[in-house]
Structure 1
Amino acid sequence: MTDNNKETEIRSHDLDDLLTTEFKGRVVRKDLTKQLKEGANVPVYVLEYLLGMYCSAAEDELIQEGLKNVKKILTENYVRPDEAEKAKSLIREKGTHKVIDKVTVKLNQKKDVYEASLSNIGIKDAVVPNKIVKENEKLLTGGIWCIITVSYFYEEGQKVSPFSILNLKPIQMPSMNMVEVYGARCNFTTEQWMDVLLRSVGMEPANLETRTKWHLIARMIPFVENNYNVCELGPRGTGKSHVYKECSPNSLLVSGGQTTVANLFYNMSSRQIGLVGMWDVVAFDEVAGIRFKDKDGIQIMKDYMASGSFSRGRDSIEAKASMVFVGNIDHSVETLVKTSHLLAPFPPEMIDSAYFDRFHAYIPGWEIPKMRPEFFTDRFGLITDYLAEYMREMRKTTFSDAIDKYFKLGNNLNQRDVIGVRRTTSGLLKLLYPHAEYDKEAIRECLTYALECRRRVKEQLKKIGGMEFFDVNFSYIDNETHEEFFVGVPEQGGSDLIPKGVPKPGVVHFVTDGALGKLGVFRLETQMTAGNGKHSTSGFGSDTAAKEQVRVGFEYFKGNLSRIAANTKFSEHEFHLHFVDLQNSGNSHTASLASLVACCSILLNKPIQESMVVLGSMTLGGVVNPVQDLASTMQVALEAGATKVLLPMASASDIPSVPGETFTKFQVSFYSDPVDAVYKALGVS
């Protein structure tokens, strides 16, 4: 065993000891859950409650003894639905019998008694004493799993059911003592507490990188924040839906995609609220398959995600459920960043900037490794139901104002950005510092992560919605030092489409619309060989319109060369122009001016200026066409790494449309005609 592994082992044992001391009866060894789950179709939180009662000691002998007890209880008392009649018969014959089942209680006002429904046995009207209901109010709100002693007494003419509940012990947490959590949390470091949370959902933090841990913790924010909207897209097999399916009785994973407004929001005929009113978290698995049968489904979802309320008929209905969207990315992230956007897996009818703007965060699923056995823990963690109740209690408070004591948010954040960043920061603080004892650096760490997650949403909005979302340079300002810190997103990386340094002669970058209808960055690479003054092209395929543009530039080059370099002859050379589509935008149909500059550059053996893009196009007669949508074009050039722009004078009137933050990043050279453009591009006065 290496020194690192030994150190990890020691730390793990220390954390196990601390957990079993601070949360006695509230912890369980997670590998035991897995063993039992394979043999009994009982919810995880039921198994873990039993394991917490009998197997929370650290010694192996005591654990094995506890396991025997749990298995015995499950064998004797857990009723499978297909054995319901046998269980009822047993209760009748014995008079009383203990069972494990989910119990829901309703008041029968006609008889003035509380009646219990036992889901697996199928008893609908077992009489429950008032005292039991008062002590366990959750029985009235959706029901809880319990160990129940059921008795049977039949008398001719009686008006109530012969079944009654003598006593009841909740298997889910009947109530939550948050003071216990706050007090215990004080004895853990932040790193230890993060490990506790991860182990409690079955992960092994010792084998995970720090950044991966943050992403896994971020998956839990919807459990502690009301009306929190988050998406996570990434490769298959990274456990995106695990936490929403297995780790809380308060969340629902919607699989299969198709849903209705009645099911999700409100049923007009029965006047009952849908899933968003019954669960803390509604998670959609496989976003690519989401379909609403109703035409107004997406609009209602938009309203709900923005405000936590929606209108049906005359009613405005409020709910607290957080919305989670998980799905798969089939292409590499590098490809999507360059060619499309990172929300592409959503169905076409949902790809709408107004809808995505409601997302508070985007977790980068591609940074989480595929789940392997070593990522699952065999150490102690909080029992699932205890963790779920702790998270549910944290929904009642907010830490969104914690930022203000130490930091201000930068001016690139609009109101929705601010809400998203505050919600994410609040959620992380609730998970990591439930006792509200956090310092400046703790807030800074959570704030930086929150800014990154919201900026990832904004970067995609910019690609979908254009200049409306140009302000993506998110930052925060330290109240004490007034220093501004900018937060980026790793997958955007350095803008290297236009590499730094002086290019080779004949290499020209330009930005314009592609044949697919979107702006893109293109490159022309030119070769010159001995010949007789002809030109050829490659990279355009069979697109004659694109090739015609190169011909326009080349013909102008031939006819006006004497104005550019009187002593140079093109007729002794042959020119080959190769076209490169850097962002999969389709062939350019406005490459005329760039072709002229490229031919002059290679003939004169002079490179164009460093990090420059050529904007604008020309006719065969030398008329310069202005740039269409100058603001978006300059934004694309900026993201591609350009620092200099060659711009036609005809576009000067459009400069007010370009945000100041974008325009001031460039050194702009104006040109009045094509020959002037060549001089400015080559830096010739």
Structure 2
Amino acid sequence: MSDDLKWTLATLDTAAEETSVPETDSGAAEPNALDRKINQYFAGAVVRKDLVKAVKGNAIVPSYVLEYLLGQYAASDDEATIQAGIDRVRDILAQHYVHRNESELVKSKIKERGRHRVIDRVSVTLNEKEDVYQAEFANLGIKGIHVDSGTVNAHQKLLVGGVWCLCDVEYFPSDEAKAVPWILGSLKPIQMSHFDFEGYLAARAEFTTEEWIDLLIQSIGFNPEMFGRRAKLLQLVRLIPFVERNYNLVELGPKGTGKSHIYSEFSPHGMLISGGEVTAPKLFVNNANGRLGLVGYWDVVAFDEFAGKKKRTDKALVDIMKNYMANKSFSRGVETLGAEASMVFVGNTSHNVAYMLKHSDLFDELPESYHDSAFLDRLHFYIPGWEVDTIRGEMFSSGYGFVVDYIAEVLKSMRNLDFSDRYQQHFTLGSDISTRDRDSIHKTFSGLMKLLYPHEQATAEEIEEILRFVIEGRKRVKDQILRIDDTMAVVKFGYSTATGTWRGVTTLEEEEHPGHYYQDSGASAHIASDPEPLAAASTVAIKAAMDEPELLYEGQRDFQENQRGVSYETLLLPYLAGATEIELQDPYIRQPHQGRNLVELLAAIASAKDPAEEVIFRLTTSEEPDTTFKQKQLLMLKEIYARAPQYGIDFHVSFSGSAHDRWIRTDTGWRINLGRGLDIFQKFEGGWMDFATSRQEFRQVREFGVAYIHEQREH
């Protein structure tokens, strides 16, 4: 360490006292640079996402209904316009939204006024005896209202599941006993009628990839600052069924991660149904009257609460579903019909990943009839729901995002496009990847490319990121099928670059739990043939070398975003063992969570060393530039300094304005280059009941790399 240190811990008392914290203005947060840019290029098509909660109240309506109204009156970044728009939307809801418990009051208004506009979910049926279409209003509780054929033909979803509408309802009593006094004056589904796709593409070109991903994340209601890159991609995969025809997606994971939210709230083109309530007539076709089911009218049909081993299922329905998912068609007697609806299956898991891998497979929670290799092989992608964080209040966005109905129409329009071959000028899929595996990879790749790069301006690196991600999602499906059906051939998933370099792809749980992931000799051969070492396997190797320093690994280790099972104890401690002096350079020991990281490292060192010995620990970091937080940083470091000696740590700190690289160096000759410094863990709730608060290995990490170098061996 240099002797001309700018700061020492002895000066922290004075520094903390001299650092003044200016008063800050209160009030609504100003739009950030991204929000201003969003409003500049998508004026009128975006809305502040926290406004939905402000206007919803106790109205049980989907978000896209509320955002439709907000898009009409509050699609602006001008605070006065927004407030006026909120007031207008609240007034519309108060005057026209029908609450079930107020239906009689609304009926009275219609009777007394003769005509009244309502917001309600409307469904239509054909009365064959009278040869007329009749509407039913879900909340208002009236039915049998005549609807003309032109309205039904223009909005056929009225026939299947119903549509939220703005309707003028009239009251005209009649002397006829069977006559219905209600008359439908007008009906307007709550969804956009048109948009400028070329303008959408031109505006996309003005955003960087990071900005665009954050805009999409804000559009589905989340704060992008709370998600890493991989977590954002997992959220966006949920949108692929809206942008790809006949796309089959499954997501299984813990409760409370928002698995079904997208399909119930995001788009007027999606239908969410309970997995236990679906029947062949409802889903495909009713042979009694020839009426098409849900797949004939909706872009996405999602099955909620799909998991449950003991759930009763209709084997005939499973067979029809298999055929539809594979061939995009289904049979009605002698006639074969086609449809374009994507299928989504979401459900909760009751065990963690390691348990499922050890005792069964990652599809273990599915009903028995669906726990079938033929059905599972038709799934294009498996979202690992255990990687998705439980939804918390701070995860919701107050920034600007697309009005839901606008982006829903954009995605619907792109279902006609095919981007599946956009990787082929740079990469080639492995030759032993089967046709069905290849088709799955292509459909997911096409969907993500349409979401992220609709203007088709992606670099080779960006295309490779997407390709690796989508291969992993299909590999997760195939590897689990191999556990169920041993007649399936093992596939080596990966791709070759334009120069012929092979790059294998692994799943994250494969790297975290290699001992449980591979259960037979064939799988062992497969892992041995993969040229890329598994990060988790290397962690196990580090652990084994704790007492044998000569076995410690030298070289680079890379860890994926969302990986668990990583801790300072296994990552760093074996290389710090026996050192009496340790240096850490990390410019970012500023925020409370970064101070916690430092304390956890010091605690690990203190617990591993001889209690009778001391370890000198020297930290070089940088000052917090914001004077508002600088005092907190200094006080935090002062407290660490005060507490460390009682645990045998002689703690020193210095500040450097030029420190950039992040590394650890020991007097035993080890240098550890830290890509992210100590800040390798993702944000987590951190309450005392959260296991991740006590144990680092239960936390998800960010993507990072570590390089181990023994400097003495270089001389």
* TM-score computed with the length of structure 2 as normaliser: 0.62
- How much has 1:420 moved relative to structure 2? 0.4
Q: Which residue of 2 aligns with 1:18?
A: 37
Relative to 1, partners in 2 of residues 1:202 and 1:108: Cα closer, same or farther, differing over 3 Å?
same
Shift of 1:217: 0.6
- 1:227 counterpart (243, 246, 254): 246
Identify if the C-alpha distance between structure 1 residues 138 and 183 changes in structure 2 by more than 3 Å, giving closer, same or farther.
farther
What is aligned with 2:525? 638
Q: CA deviation at 1:212?
A: 0.5
1:347 corresponds to 2:367 = yes
**Per the alignment, in what secondary structure is the counterpart of residue 172 of structure 1?**
coil
Q: Which residue of 2 aligns with 1:64?
A: 83
Q: Displacement of 1:346 after TM fit?
A: 1.5
Select which of 325, 331, 355 maps to 1:305: 325
CA distance 1:12–1:219, change in 2 (3 Å): farther
1:492 aligns with 2:510: yes
- Aligned counterpart, 2:345: 325
* Equivalent pair of 1:116/1:128 in contact (CA under 8 Å): no
Given that 2:62 and 2:264 are in contact with CA atoms closer than 8 Å, whether structure 1 keeps it comes out as no
Check whether the contact 2:430–2:494 (CA below 8 A) recurs between aligned residues. Answer: yes
Q: Which of 14, 21, 31 is the equivalent residue of 2:50?
A: 31
Specify whether residues 11 and 459 from structure 1 end up closer, same or farther in structure 2 by C-alpha distance, changes over 3 A only: farther
Alpha-carbon distance in 2 for matches of 1:167, 1:350: 44
- Separation in structure 2 between the aligned mates of residue 168 and residue 640 of structure 1, nearest angstrom: 60
Distance apart, 1:413 and its partner CA: 0.4
- Opposite residue 431 of structure 1, the aligned amino acid is L
Q: CA deviation at 1:74?
A: 1.3
* Per-residue deviation, 1:379: 1.6
Question: Structure 1 338/277 Cα, relative in aligned 2: closer, same or farther at 3 Å?
Answer: same
Please say if residues 79 and 100 of structure 1, whose CA atoms lie closer than 8 Å, have aligned partners that are also in contact. Answer: yes
Q: Report the secondary structure of 1:476's partner residue.
A: strand
Q: Report SS of the residue matched to 1:287.
A: coil
Distance 1:270 1:196, change over 3 A: same
> Counterpart of 2:400 in structure 1: which amino acid?
F
**Residue 78 of structure 1, CA deviation:** 2.1
CA distance in 2: counterparts of 1:311 and 1:14, whole angstroms: 53
Note the alpha carbon deviations across 1:44-100, whole angstroms, 9 max, x for none. 222111112222222434322222211111112223345445434434443444333
Distance 1:97 1:123 in 2: 16
Query: The residue matched to 2:346 in structure 1 has which SS?
Result: strand
1:43 maps onto 2:53 in alignment: no
Residue 104 of structure 1: how far off its partner (Å): 6.6
AA in 2 matched with 1:443: I
Which of 254, 266, 276 does residue 285 from structure 2 map onto? 266
Q: What is the RMSD of the two structures over their aligned residues, measured on CA atoms?
A: 3.8
**CA separation of 1:210 and 1:67: change in aligned 2, threshold 3 A:** same
Amino acid at match of 1:244: Y
Distance 2:434 2:266 in 1: 34
**Contact 1:458–1:469 under 8 Å retained in 2:** no
Amino acid at match of 2:37: L
Residue 649 of structure 1 corresponds to: none
SS of the residue corresponding to residue 341 of structure 1 reads coil
Deviation at 1:298, TM superposition (A): 2.0
Q: Does residue 243 of the first structure (1) align with residue 262 of the second (2)?
A: yes
**2 CA distance for matches of 1:442 and 1:180?**
23
Q: How does 1:63-462 map to 2 (within 5 A)?
A: 63-102=82-121, 120-121=139-140, 122=142, 124-125=144-145, 145-150=164-169, 171-255=190-274, 257-289=276-308, 291=311, 293-462=313-482
Distance 1:583 1:60, change over 3 A: closer
Deviation of the 1:410 alpha carbon: 0.9
Are residues 1:483 and 2:501 paired? yes
Which amino acid letter does the alignment assign opposite residue 376 of structure 1?
F
CA distance in 1, matches of 2:61, 2:68: 11
**CA spacing shift, 1:325–1:26, aligned 2, 3 Å:** same
Q: Which runs of 5+ in 2 are unaligned?
A: 1-19, 22-27, 531-715
Name the SS of the counterpart of 2:423 in structure 1. helix
CA contact (8 A) 1:230 1:360 kept: yes
Task: Verify the 8 A CA contact 2:46 2:76 in the aligned structure 1.
Answer: no
Native 8 Å contact 1:127 1:160 kept in 2? no
* Partner residue, 2:583: none
Instruction: String of CA shifts for 1:157-181, please: whole Å, max 9, x gaps.
Output: 9x99886666666532123432332
SS across alignment from 1:289: coil
Question: What letter corresponds to residue 98 of structure 1 in structure 2?
Answer: R
SS of equivalent residue, structure 2 residue 378: coil
- Per-residue CA deviation, residues 222-259 of structure 1 (Å, 9 max, x unaligned), is 11111111211222222112211221222222225353
Conserved? CA contact 2:274–2:306, under 8 Å: no
Are the aligned partners of 2:304 and 2:346 in contact in 1 as well (CA < 8 Å)? yes
Preserved contact between residue 247 and residue 343 of structure 2 (Cα < 8 Å): yes
**Helix, strand or coil at the partner of 1:403:** coil
Aligned residues: 502
Measured in 1, the distance between the counterparts of 2:389 and 2:261 equals: 14
> What is the identity, as a one-letter code, of the residue corresponding to 1:27?
V
User: In 2 relative to 1, CA 637–10 (structure 1 residues): closer, same or farther, beyond 3 Å?
Assistant: same
Larger Rg: 1
**Residues 235 and 366, structure 1, Cα contact 8 Å, conserved in 2:** yes
Letter in 2 for 1:246: E
- Which AA in structure 2 matches 1:396? N
Tell me the CA shift for residue 19 of structure 1. Answer: 2.3
Q: Distance in 2 between matches of 1:58 and 1:445?
A: 34
Q: Percent identity?
A: 43
The 3 A distance-change label for structure 1 pair 93 and 336 is closer
Secondary structure of the 2:263 match is helix
Distance 1:361 1:401 in 2: 18
Q: Distance in 2 between matches of 1:584 and 1:475?
A: 18
| RCO comparison, higher one (Cα < 8 Å, 6+) | 2
